[in-house]
Amino acid sequence: METNISLPKAPKLIEQVSQSRAILEIEDLYPGYGLTLGNALRRVMLSSLPGAAITSIKINNVAHEFSTLPGILEDVVEIILNLKQVRFKLHGDEPQIVILKAKGEGEVFAKNIKTVSQVEIASPDVRIATLTSKNASLEMEIKVEKGLGYSAIESRKRDKQEVGVIAVDAIFTPIKIINFEVDDMRVGDKTNYNRLRFDIETDGTITPIEALTSAANLLNDHFKIIASPVTEKIKKREEEKEKKIPEKAISKEEAGATKIKIEDLKLSSRTQNALLENHIKTVAGLLRLGEKELLDIEDIGEKALKEIKKVLGKLGYTLKQKD
């Protein structure tokens, strides 16, 4: 009976809908793994990928968000909502201040924001405000920070704000839309393997394949930490088994038996595998068990025992006799 879980193929691009949206597919997933991996990757992409967003603004001659500005079509609330649609790429971990200045009649876009070297605007065509007169002006300082997921104003109330600074709910995640579906597919003579298809749209600061790769790496980092204590425990237990060979079971002449591996004896594959699966890795392990204990092992019969005795005899070793 098969006991190994087969691994899937690497993700492949099915359709590049736009620069920031793509359909990716993972094939040959073991039955049930499409939903398992789809849910895990989707949740990580939505909640755990870093991004940059506006966290506060300061507008000249505005004391609070419920204000209006002369000569500007939108009120401050509408301007803030428009600013939330602007996506940034922040190089470095420190918050950055960018400036927006506009005068005269016309529309103001994200591309009109004066950035610094550490800040890039990924959505330059987002409209921020509309100036309706020649004397109208709009000037503001915008604070951009890095973060994860979503940060409500309430979670940052403990931070003291300068007078006139308006805090903004921040959507850091670079993922705009992510959906997945799982279909059955044929692999060999089996028809219940899974095909996992992702439809990913980002804000333009990362590509869909980068989002999928980052999520997979985050999960992998967690699994490594979870698995490492177990792996080390198993390794330590196997090493201790080898060290716990009673001195009485091996004579002084047989001291070198601990250095001879089972693989070096050139036994038949069936016999060798049976010994290794039962953690008998050296000649010393064989000598410790003797004939009776070896016959108790599954797949070790009289024929295999005879083969083992013959090989050990050539090396000058003798198994303990059956009672």
pLDDT tens digit sequence for 166-181: 999 999 999 999 999 9
According to the model, what pLDDT value does residue 311 have? 85
Q: Model-level pTM greater than 0.85?
A: no
Single-letter amino acid, residue 132:
T
Superfamily of domain 54-147, CATH level 4: DNA-directed RNA polymerase, insert domain (2.170.120.12)
Topology agreement, domain 12-48+175-218 and domain 54-147: no
Confirm if 276 and 262 have CB atoms less than 8 A apart: yes
Secondary-structure class of domain 242-315 per CATH: mainly alpha
Tens-digit pLDDT profile for residues 179-207: 999 999 999 888 999 999 999 999 999 99
User: From 3.30.1360.10, 3.30.70.1340, 3.40.50.300, 3.40.1170.10, which CATH number describes the 12-48+175-218 domain?
Assistant: 3.30.1360.10
DSSP letter at 206 equals S
| Exposure string for 71-109, b = 16+ CB within 10 A, e = fewer | bbebebeebbebbeebbbbbeeeeebebebebeeeeebb
The beta strands (E) that lie in the chain are given as 12-18, 21-29, 50-59, 88-90, 96-103, 106-109, 113-114, 119-121, 127-131, 137-148, 150-151, 165-167, 170-171, 175-187, 190-202
pLDDT in tens, 107-120: 999 999 999 999 99
Domain ranges in the chain?
12-48+175-218, 54-147, 242-315
